[in-house]
């Protein structure tokens, strides 16, 4: 790290220290819960659940927004402690009307007083947690970076859950947009039905496959394929799209069980007016019931990509084959997590294949990450005092001819259960970036030599409050 980078880290530590000496404000907001620290439209830990059941946020979370065993089961139940239970429920005299006992509202405000990065505009925007806008890099100070409003509950009716989000952030000039929408029906533990405007893998309770509900701003490489990561179809693992899915649990010996999920989605490159289901996704996990899980996941289908977009501009690299045809994709991989006390280790590897049946062009790429975190607690507090995290990310692009690696390190401090601050640094650790070739079917030769620029480094300081 150069001298400037060290100064930025010291400045970030100073910001956290200043926030630390504001206990009256933090005390006033105690006994509530925070949610995920970035501006992605994915809901996570919600304070309304703690208010409804009058329990600590740590009942469901090791450290926000990471779920523990209890929290994962709470989500699988449909955001309730027990399916069909009446705790926190209002019922009519004839017991026919069933709804939440209180309005399950939630609000999260995030401040980003320091954000500095150097590198490719589009690549850093996608991989290191920024946005692909005209100038996502360089020094930024955003006293208010993001405001999210949620409603969520498990008792819209008996065994009916719901979630809705409205988001406004500095990148969009605080124009209010609709985030996640989710409606679930939970008749049995072995069979739950979900209709959502949300990514299929973003809804996974184990939080290991994509960046949804990750505690960091920087993304995991297995979000493949993010903007300009390079693929023929441009299909991503983390789109916000229309989803119909089912999931459930099959008990095994002791506390262990098998978790399954399967869903049908529409194409991610087209607007909401196209309602035909074209893609499928599946998930299978063995849960030992004691903080250990090993699983597999995959998706397949086709996309009608947008016109060819060269690297460095932003947006996914959907390749126009010149005749309006559809490209096929397959995504598959394995993931695992291990939690013991305050230690949490998780990782995943993803294999991606794309094919254009008209031109015969093919591409195969891989991505993986490994992540380790530890929650230090102090005294009688049930929430972490400090939580260091480190993650190694690796992926290939352009049919495996170009390789990227980057490391993310974060040090988080929880001032109170609902007040969190952290310093995060992401470093591009690949010394040399070789140009690769991604076939452009619009050319008769079938090849256009394109190279992605380095990711660069990024340091960020963020403080968030949830209530």
> pLDDT tens track of the chain, all 467 residues?
555 555 555 555 554 444 444 443 434 444 444 443 333 333 345 667 777 777 777 788 777 788 888 889 999 999 888 888 888 888 777 767 778 877 788 888 999 998 887 655 445 555 666 554 434 456 788 899 899 998 888 888 889 999 999 999 887 888 888 889 999 999 999 999 999 999 899 999 999 999 988 899 888 989 865 544 557 777 888 887 889 999 999 999 999 999 999 999 887 655 555 567 789 999 999 999 888 999 999 999 987 755 444 333 333 445 455 555 678 899 999 999 999 988 999 999 999 998 888 777 788 889 999 999 999 988 877 788 999 999 999 988 777 777 888 899 999 999 987 889 999 999 888 755 544 444 443 333 344 445 556 677 888 999 999 88
Task: Sort strands 140-157 and 279-287 into parallel, antiparallel or unpaired.
Answer: unpaired
Contacts of 394 (CB under 8 A, 6+ apart): 221, 367, 368, 369, 403, 404, 405
Cα–Cα distance, 36 to 29 (Å, whole number)? 17
For the segment(s) 3-466, the CATH number from 2.40.160.10, 3.30.420.40, 3.40.50.2300, 3.40.50.450 is: 2.40.160.10
pLDDT value of residue 66:
84
pTM beyond 0.85: no
Tokens 């920024």 belong to 130
| Long-range contacts (CB closer than 8 Å, 24 or more residues apart) made by 372-376 | 372/343, 372/344, 372/345, 373/63, 373/66, 373/215, 373/343, 373/344, 373/345, 374/342, 374/343, 374/344, 375/62, 375/63, 375/342, 375/344, 376/342
Calculate the CA 284 to chain-centre distance: 19
For residue 444, how many other CB atoms are within 10 A of its CB? 6
3-class SS at 187? strand
The pair of structure tokens assigned to 295 is 């699983």
Cα–Cα distance, 67 to 60 (Å, whole number)? 6
Domain ranges of the chain: 3-466
pLDDT value of residue 241:
83
pLDDT value of residue 21:
40
Residue pair 365/400 in contact by the 8 Å Cβ criterion: yes
In the beta sheet, which residues pair with residue 252?
Answer: none
């Amino acid at each position: 790290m150069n001298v400037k980078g060290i100064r930025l880290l010291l400045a970030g530590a100073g910001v956290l220290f200043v926030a630390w000496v504001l206990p009256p404000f933090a005390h006033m907001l105690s006994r509530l819960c925070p949610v995920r620290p970035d501006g992605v439209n994915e809901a996570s830990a919600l304070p309304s659940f703690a208010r409804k059941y009058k329990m600590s946020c740590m009942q469901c979370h090791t450290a926000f927004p990471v779920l523990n065993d209890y929290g994962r089961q709470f989500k699988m139940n449909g955001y309730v402690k027990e399916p069909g239970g009446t705790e926190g429920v209002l019922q009519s005299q004839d017991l026919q009307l069933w709804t939440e006992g209180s309005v399950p509202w939630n609000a999260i405000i995030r401040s980003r007083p320091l954000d500095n990065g150097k590198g490719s505009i589009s690549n850093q925007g996608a991989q290191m947690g920024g946005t692909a806008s005209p100038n996502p890099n360089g020094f930024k100070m955003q006293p208010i970076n993001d405001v999210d409003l949620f409603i969520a509950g498990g008792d819209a009716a008996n065994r009916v859950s719901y979630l809705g989000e409205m988001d406004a952030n500095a990148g969009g000039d605080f124009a209010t947009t609709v985030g996640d929408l989710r409606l679930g029906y939970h008749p049995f533990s072995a069979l739950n039905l979900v209709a959502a405007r949300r990514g299929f893998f973003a809804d996974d309770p184990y939080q290991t496959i994509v960046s949804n509900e990750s505690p960091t701003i920087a993304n995991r490489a297995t979000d493949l394929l993010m903007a300009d990561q390079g693929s023929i179809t441009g299909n991503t693992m983390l789109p916000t799209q229309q989803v119909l899915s089912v999931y459930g649990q099959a008990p095994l010996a002791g506390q262990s069980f098998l978790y399954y999920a399967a869903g049908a989605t529409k194409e991610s490159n087209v607007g909401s007016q196209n309602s035909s289901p074209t893609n499928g996704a599946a998930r299978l996990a063995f849960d030992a019931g004691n903080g250990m899980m090993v699983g597999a996941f995959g998706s397949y289908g086709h996309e009608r990509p947008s016109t060819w977009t060269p690297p460095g501009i932003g947006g996914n690299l959907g390749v126009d084959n010149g005749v309006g045809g559809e490209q096929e994709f397959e995504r598959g991989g394995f993931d695992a997590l291990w939690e013991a006390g305050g230690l949490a280790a998780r990782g995943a590897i993803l294999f991606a294949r794309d094919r254009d049946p008209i031109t015969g062009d093919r591409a195969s790429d891989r991505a993986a990450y490994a992540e380790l975190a530890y929650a230090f607690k102090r005294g009688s507090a049930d929430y972490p005092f400090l939580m260091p995290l480190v993650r190694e990310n690796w992926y290939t692009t352009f049919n495996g001819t170009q390789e990227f690696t980057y490391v993310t390190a974060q040090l988080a401090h929880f001032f109170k259960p609902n007040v969190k601050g952290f310093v995060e640094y992401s470093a591009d650790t690949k010394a040399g970036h070789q140009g690769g070739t991604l076939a452009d079917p619009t050319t008769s030769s079938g090849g256009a030599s394109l190279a992605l620029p380095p990711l660069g480094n990024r340091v960020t300081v963020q403080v968030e409050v949830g209530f």
